[in-house]
Amino acid sequence: MMNAAFPQIRLVPIRMLKPETAERLLNMLAGITGIRRMMVQGPGLPKVVPYGPARGSPNPHSDRKAIHIADAEVALRVQVGMVILEVEDASVIEEIRSLCDDFFVEFPYLLQEGKFMKTAPTLVDYAKYGPDADTSLVGLTDPRIGESPVIIRTEQ
């Protein structure tokens, strides 16, 4: 069972981030010691049109790219609209705030503290990973996606 005492924050830029901008931000965040889990959220970028008269036809979108975070390649399936972080303790939040103040100079952002990720396994987590699942994956599962989350281990 995960400890629910870990602080969580949500970074919400005022606009969607382009893949190059998201890659720079996520690499800067990956360099901060004390971040336990990170999740990006935003509107989906499906490979094929999911509904309407063009259903099933290719959906070309310039933002559906692979980006590099630390030593991992991550295929963006969403436009980055939010970054949710779980940190070791509250002191890390000020380091993240300072980084974001320097990073977001052309447009504003919000840094919100609260609970944004699940901290206990649900039925979906059990069905996807089984009873002996890695607890760091709790809440990072989208049951509609057949792929597992990308795990980036940084040297800390």
The three-state secondary structure class of 23 is: helix
pLDDT at 2: 47
Give strand ranges (E) for 35-87: 35-41, 66-69, 72-75, 82-87
All structural domains of the chain with their residue ranges: 8-129
For 69-128, write each residue's pLDDT tens digit.
Answer: 988 898 888 999 999 999 999 999 999 999 999 999 999 999 999 998 887 777 877 777
Q: And the tokens for 89?
A: 């303790």
Q: Is CATH 3.80.10 the classification given to domain 8-129?
A: no
CA angle 118-30-131, nearest 5°? 35
What is the distance between the alpha carbons of residues 21 and 133, in angstroms, rounded to a whole number? Answer: 33
pLDDT at 101: 96
